[in-house]
Amino acid sequence: MKIVVLDGYTENPGDISWSPLAALGDLTVYDRTSYDESPRIRERIGDAEIIVINKTPISPATMDACPNLRAVAVLATGYNTVDAAYARKKNIDVMNVPGYGTDNAAQYAVALLLEACSHVGLHDRSVHAGEWTESADFCYWKRPLIEVSGKTAGIIGFGRIGMAVARVLRAMNVRVLAYSRSERAEGRALADYVPLDELIGSSDFIFLHCPLTPETEGLINAARISQMKDGVIIVNNGRGQLIVEQDLAAALRSGKVAWAAVDVVSAEPITADNPLLNAPHCIINPHIAWATKEARERIMQITADNVRSFIEGHPQNVVNR
């Protein structure tokens, strides 16, 4: 069985092993191929039956050009870079890795909030630059510090990650509101389910943990921002396309939104003309909420299990059947 990894570097920059996949067939690993439609993608797939990807796009044209292809194993939970519906028509299984990083994503979401409220990194850089040494006072702060306790957080999308965030926030004495397509008993124990408009208008902090769909694309836009509290903080380590970035940048400049803290943007790597780059009070990280070594080791093992199950004829974690 020929297996090709098209963009393996972010999963494994050298600190873990490809051996779980290598044990399953003739494995070729490329660090990077292309984040855009490219003939190189088809060339590197060649006659492989299984490909492993993270963010390399797999289009209908690519699938048509690679007739041996039978399975796409995605090194992530999200699989929007693959045309899964067309893959189904071609009898190509698309497999993902669900649930590998719930605690990592929750940890990072809260870290983004705390950076916006406490400015730990800003003050560390200030001290190392000599500002404390030269200070006339025993302490100083370069930005207003915000107390998290006693505030209200609204979480849009209340699945595994949203609920994990809620558990942390409740331990910090934060009231949690949730908006979700479905309600669960587990969720009701952690938050008050409310309509989206109520969540938008009542929250001091808004977290985005919903999937990217045609209905949620551009969910945070000028109209919704206008309904928010003055001085709201928006945290997004879900999908960049959930936010209309030009609208958020304008709200940051006006002060309507006090801070935005994001780990994802609409086009990744971020483009030089992204409006958030020049917006005030905007923390941007390079899509790393998922990337602890522990989480990447889980991704590797689950992906290997997915490939093994496909080879053995009982595929698991198939998202397009």
Task: Tell me the DSSP string of 224-236.
Answer: HHHHSPTTEEEEE
Q: What is the pLDDT of residue 17?
A: 97
What is the average per-residue pLDDT within 20-38?
97
Q: Which of 98, 97, 94 is nearest to 81 (CA)?
A: 94
Q: What is the pLDDT of residue 34?
A: 95
Does residue 102 contact residue 96 with C-beta atoms inside 8 Å? no
What is the average per-residue pLDDT within 2-22?
98
Q: What is the pLDDT of residue 241?
A: 97
Q: What is the pLDDT of residue 71?
A: 98
In the numeric block, the tokens 């969720």 are attached to 187
Instruction: Give catalytic residue positions.
Output: 239, 268, 287
- Average pLDDT across the chain, whole number: 97
**Rounded Cα–Cα distance for residues 46 and 251 (Å):** 48
- The structure's pTM equals 0.93
Q: What is the pLDDT of residue 156?
A: 98
| Percentage of residues of the chain with pLDDT beyond 90 | 98
Q: What is the pLDDT of residue 306?
A: 98
Which 8-state DSSP code applies to residue 266?
A: S
pLDDT band at 190 (very low <50, low <70, confident <90, very high): very high
DSSP string covering 95-124: E--TTSSHHHHHHHHHHHHHHHHH-HHHHH
**Rounded Cα–Cα distance for residues 102 and 105 (Å):** 5
